[in-house]
Amino acid sequence: MKFRSTRDPESSADFCTALERGIAPDGGLYVPVSLPRHSIDDFDGCDTLATVAECLLRPFVEGTALAPELADICSESFSFPIPLLRLQDGPEQLSVLELFHGPTAAFKDVGARFLAASLERMNADRERPLTILVATSGDTGGAVAAAFHGRPNVRTVILYPLGLVSPRQEKQLTCWGGNVTTLAVKGSFDDCQRLVKQAFADPGLREAHRLSSANSISIGRLLPQTVYYAFASLSLWRSEARRPGFIIPTGNLGNAQACVWARSMGLPIADVILATNANRPIPDFLESGEWRPRDSLATLASAMDVGNPSNMERLRWQFNDDIEALRAAVGAISVDDAQIREQIAAEFQRNGRVWCPHTATAMWVYRHFSEKRRAEKHWVVAATAHPAKFEEIVEPLIGRSVEIPEQLAALLELPVKATRITPELDQLTKVLG
């Protein structure tokens, strides 16, 4: 399978090149030239995440050095459970896809681990290490650091907006050391993202440090995210012969783009609904047909505080920038902080379940569908992080403490290491050495 830049039909790269470059040389994003089409029977006998992953991702790596490694990469990256929890039965069926059982308790562990497992193997015989440069609005950096920490031949530099991530998120960004350097940037997530883009746009820097990305723009993170949508939709299809609809908390649009791809590859998926926080470029775009990126607003669902979602370029490319086709492909609803709070409390009262602020946006969307729409199909809410990562928001709303998952508790014990910088390229250059 070949990949190309969203901006240049003549460009071409294989999976490994796209992975190593992160972003295409023309500033566009890598997309598969075409998506493989699977029938549901192709997955007969695939009843674990790792086996579904291997079947689904095989066409993308065919013909590259990673092809013989794919089975190992899949079993290494899909080694924690991603349970589909049935919340409600009867006329209105609701399940939650719990994506937060990995090392840093958020869905980004999946893509980060796949990418790290792939890059480590691709760089096994290189002399200079690859430098992974990552801007994070919260969860990306922790997941990437956890995935790359201690791996040979890869160095990781993480930029996060100082004061704009939760205290526990900050711990997970700054506890590493070794081959992981963490930078606390005095600015917003968009500033961090801009700095990373500037570094990539500088051919000297790029070459000297073998810069590579692990943001959700990396195809190596996006593609493995298709796997849990495939797995969940197959398991519902096998038990109910119905195509579920997914409601996905959305910021930079990587998670939801993966779901759209899974559907385009033939998986039994009906609606894909994007739940955004008060940052509304996507819902506004679908409504008006005009793409107007803007500065990001700080909200309770901080990992979704994105004013200019990068992956929009992929989604628009996939549907030829045809607004009617885009409207048919996805829906989007914005949920504000008051509604997030209200929903966290309401869900706890309803059934004793506690969800993080991001997951709560999707819950709010589901609960505010019409009764008819809720009953139409089996809906699946993607739960993107464990609530214990956002305890300072969640605990006052439910009036009790949230138990910390074991893997997270271990990270929180480690000491903090971070360097403060202002959002200027020369500061970043200095750190790169």
Ligand X SMILES: *Cc1c(COP(=O)(O)O)cnc(C)c1O
Q: Please select the residue that binds ligand X; options are 123, 188, 252, 277, rule is CB under 6 A.
A: 252
Q: Is the Cα dihedral 197, 202, 205, 206 positive or negative?
A: positive
The least distance separating ligand X from the CB of residue 295, rounded to whole angstroms, comes to 17
Q: What tokens appear for 391 in the block?
A: 């305890």
Q: For residue 57, list its beta bridge partners.
A: none
- Measured at CB, which residue is nearest to ligand X? 139
d(CA 352, CA 330): 31
Q: Does 123 bind ligand X (CB under 6 A)?
A: no
Q: Does 216 bind ligand X (CB under 6 A)?
A: yes
Q: Is 213 exposed, middle or buried (0-12, 13-18, 19+ CB in 10 A)?
A: buried
User: Are the C-beta atoms of 100 and 386 separated by less than 8 Å?
Assistant: yes
Nearer to ligand X by C-beta: 205 or 385?
Answer: 385
Q: Does 385 bind ligand X (CB under 6 A)?
A: yes
In sequence order, what DSSP letters do the residues of 11-60 get, joined into one string? EEE-HHHHHHHSB-TTS-BEEESS-----GGGGTT--SHHHHHHHHHHHH
| Region from 90-98, 235-243, 253-261, 327-335 binding ligand X, contact rule CB under 6 A | 253-261
Nearer to ligand X by C-beta: 24 or 222?
Answer: 222
The least distance separating ligand X from the CB of residue 394, rounded to whole angstroms, comes to 12
Q: Which 3 state secondary structure label does DSSP give 104?
A: coil
Q: Does 254 bind ligand X (CB under 6 A)?
A: yes
The least distance separating ligand X from the CB of residue 293, rounded to whole angstroms, comes to 14
Region for 117 from its dihedrals, namely left if φ exceeds 0, alpha if ψ lies in -120 to 50, beta otherwise:
alpha
Nearer to ligand X by C-beta: 95 or 359?
Answer: 359
The least distance separating ligand X from the CB of residue 160, rounded to whole angstroms, comes to 12
Q: Is the Cα dihedral 271, 276, 282, 285 positive or negative?
A: positive
Q: Does 249 bind ligand X (CB under 6 A)?
A: yes
The least distance separating ligand X from the CB of residue 103, rounded to whole angstroms, comes to 14
Q: Please select the residue that binds ligand X; options are 245, 251, 281, 283, rule is CB under 6 A.
A: 251
Q: Does 307 bind ligand X (CB under 6 A)?
A: no
